[in-house]
């Protein structure tokens, strides 16, 4: 009997706290959303499983010399994993829609307004006593509005590592919910006639244009805002490998094997921050709320910018593509196309929406650089 009691005392069941039990349930929920609902499965599977491991009592797998903690130290604390992911995203990105219709860059820029509006809101609520976030924490939370998971992880790792788990879960959850969150906002802010606007076919973009663009983009932005150079630099490097045409093997590896391997360890490292004491706080609820507000404002800002641009002389823009200015590539562009087809089955907006969509990726990296520069400074 004594042996049985001794075995029970050293078992995980005896050491399991209520918070850990709740977190195990939450992580199982993330796995359910990833597998059954297919919400961002590439990240939620790894994050959810990492969260399960980090909440097993009696083993220091997510702290000290534990495996997940070592992965976190190497890949997240250093900023390495998000940067490699961004290199892969760059290699997967085609700038042709943006280059064929350059004015859509304003839609991508406008959609970043949600980030800065949420930052100001978080600071205001903290000043009023309703929340308790420092400027670094508020900046890390606000980047959720960019709907860009790697950027959110990078900024959180730089500014507020203790909030990384909640910020990453919020960012990827809202990215997965783009088809649910965006359409009501888009329909609310547009008329039926606006949703029916047909856009002219895009011109063909030469290889020289596609190859020169990432070089000019990097030099211009990095020299103006050096803190944006790491994210933007890896993004442009990946895109240059894609477009230059002489390193196809490197480009293909970056797009497939490399980004897949890093995604596995990135998710596990983020999951290591889903411990009960770090996640089950009122701050987590505030993060989820502020993230939703940031995402909603970003969507609305893109649509309203397109409507404002239509007041000027020139070829009209379908306001729906403004919602694609958030950088959830290519989901946001697909949603804009679907909402457009609902109003006019012959009106295909997917390629037009990809312009502001990739502009949103650029915009979110610039916003990240601004936040790191001024919040950390």
d(CA 348, CA 200): 11
pLDDT-based confidence at residue 377 (cuts at 50, 70, 90): low
* Residue 330, pLDDT score: 85
Q: Enter the pTM of the model.
A: 0.91
When pLDDT is averaged across residues 157-181 and rounded to a whole number, the result is 88
Say if residue 328 is exposed, middle or buried (CB neighbours under 10 Å; 0-12, 13-18, 19+): buried
Q: What is the pLDDT of residues 226-285, one digit of tens each?
A: 999 999 999 999 999 999 999 999 999 999 999 999 999 999 999 998 888 888 888 888
d(CA 18, CA 118): 33
Residue bearing the bigger pLDDT, 174 or 90? 90
Residue 130 has pLDDT above 90, yes or no: no
For 314: left if phi > 0, alpha if psi spans -120 to 50, otherwise beta; the answer is left
Helix (H, G, I), strand (E, B), or coil: what is residue 347? coil
Q: What is the widest separation between alpha-carbon atoms in the chain?
A: 87
When pLDDT is averaged across residues 340-354 and rounded to a whole number, the result is 93
DSSP label at residue 134: -
d(CA 227, CA 236): 15
Residue 77: name the closest of 194, 150, 199, 161 by CA. 161
C-alpha 89: how far from chain center: 12
Q: What is the pLDDT of residues 2-14, one digit of tens each?
A: 777 777 676 777 7
When pLDDT is averaged across residues 329-355 and rounded to a whole number, the result is 93
Say if residue 348 is exposed, middle or buried (CB neighbours under 10 Å; 0-12, 13-18, 19+): middle
Q: What is the pLDDT of residues 275-322, one digit of tens each?
A: 888 888 888 889 989 988 999 999 999 999 999 999 998 889 999 999
SS3 content of the chain, % helix, strand, coil (to 5): 80, 0, 20
Mean of the per-residue pLDDT values for the chain?
A: 91
C-alpha 63: how far from chain center: 26
d(CA 65, CA 61): 7
Q: Where are the alpha helices (DSSP H) in 55-202?
A: 67-72, 80-92, 96-100, 105-110, 113-128, 135-142, 149-159, 164-176, 178-189, 192-195
d(CA 41, CA 180): 17
* Residue 352, pLDDT score: 95
CA angle 195, 198, 199 (to 5 degrees): 120
* Residue 238, pLDDT score: 97
Q: What is the pLDDT of residues 16-69, one digit of tens each?
A: 889 999 999 999 999 999 999 888 898 889 999 999 999 988 888 888 889 999
Q: How many residues does the chain have?
A: 377
* Residue 314, pLDDT score: 85
């Amino acid at each position: 009997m004594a042996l049985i009691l001794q075995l029970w005392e050293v078992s995980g069941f005896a050491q399991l706290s209520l918070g850990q039990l709740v977190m195990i349930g939450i992580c199982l929920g993330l796995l359910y959303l990833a597998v059954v609902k297919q919400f961002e499965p590439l990240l939620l599977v790894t994050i959810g499983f990492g969260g399960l491991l980090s909440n097993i009592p009696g083993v220091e797998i997510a702290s000290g010399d534990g495996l997940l903690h070592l992965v976190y130290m190497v890949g997240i604390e250093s900023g390495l994993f998000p940067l490699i992911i961004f290199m892969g995203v760059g290699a997967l990105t085609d700038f042709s829609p943006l280059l064929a219709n350059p004015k859509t860059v304003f839609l991508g820029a406008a959609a970043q307004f949600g980030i800065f509006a949420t930052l100001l809101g978080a600071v205001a609520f903290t000043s009023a006593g309703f929340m308790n976030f420092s400027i670094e924490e508020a900046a890390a939370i606000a980047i959720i509005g960019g709907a860009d998971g790697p950027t959110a992880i990078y900024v959180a790792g730089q500014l507020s590592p203790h909030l990384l788990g909640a910020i990453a879960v919020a960012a990827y959850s809202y990215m997965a919910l783009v088809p649910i969150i965006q359409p009501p906002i888009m329909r609310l802010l547009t008329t039926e006639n606006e949703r029916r606007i047909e856009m002219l076919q895009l011109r063909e973009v030469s290889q020289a244009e596609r190859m020169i663009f990432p070089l000019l983009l990097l030099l211009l932005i990095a020299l103006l805002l050096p803190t944006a150079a790491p994210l933007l630099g890896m993004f442009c490097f990946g895109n240059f490998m894609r477009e230059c045409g002489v390193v196809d093997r490197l480009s293909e590896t970056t797009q497939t094997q490399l980004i897949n391997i890093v995604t596995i360890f990135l998710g596990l490292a983020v999951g290591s921050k889903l411990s009960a004491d770090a996640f089950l706080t009122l701050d987590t609820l505030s993060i989820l709320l502020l993230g939703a507000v940031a995402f909603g404002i970003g969507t609305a800002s893109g649509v309203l910018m397109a409507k404002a641009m239509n007041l000027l002389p020139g070829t009209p823009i379908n306001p729906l593509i403004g919602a694609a200015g958030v950088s959830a590539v290519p989901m946001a562009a697909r949603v804009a196309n679907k909402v457009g087809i609902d109003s006019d089955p012959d009106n295909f907006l997917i390629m037009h929406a990809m312009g502001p969509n990739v502009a949103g990726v650029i915009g979110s990296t610039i916003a990240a650089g601004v936040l790191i520069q001024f919040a950390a400074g």
